[in-house]
Amino acid sequence: MKLYRFLTGPDDATFCHKVTAALNKGWHLFGSPTYAYDKKTKSMRCGQSLVKDVEGQEYRADTKLSDW
């Protein structure tokens, strides 16, 4: 199965750690990161798409992506 995730977070080290953790679980960057201003919190937010191929498994709607 092919999995897709979009991670978001504040522009700080926690976002980088979140992406790094996913990369270390076998996820791969997909496309360019995004960066936008959040007017409500008056802060910058980051986003990054990730994909992962998992052999021998079938995707289901209740698949918990963070488990992979």
pLDDT digits (tens, 9 = 90+) for 8-65: 999 999 999 999 999 999 999 999 999 999 999 999 999 999 999 999 989 999 999 8
Say what the pLDDT of residue 56 is: 92
pLDDT at 27: 97
What pLDDT is attached to residue 33?
Answer: 96
pLDDT at 6: 97
Rounded alpha-carbon distances, angstroms, from residue 13 to 2, 9, 16, 21, 46: 28, 10, 5, 12, 11
pTM of the predicted protein model: 0.84
- Could you tell me whether strands 2-10 and 28-29 are parallel, antiparallel, or unpaired per DSSP bridges? unpaired
Tell me, what DSSP letter sits at residue 31?
Answer: S
3-state secondary structure at position 21? helix
Can you give the pLDDT at residue 67? 85
Residue type, 25: K
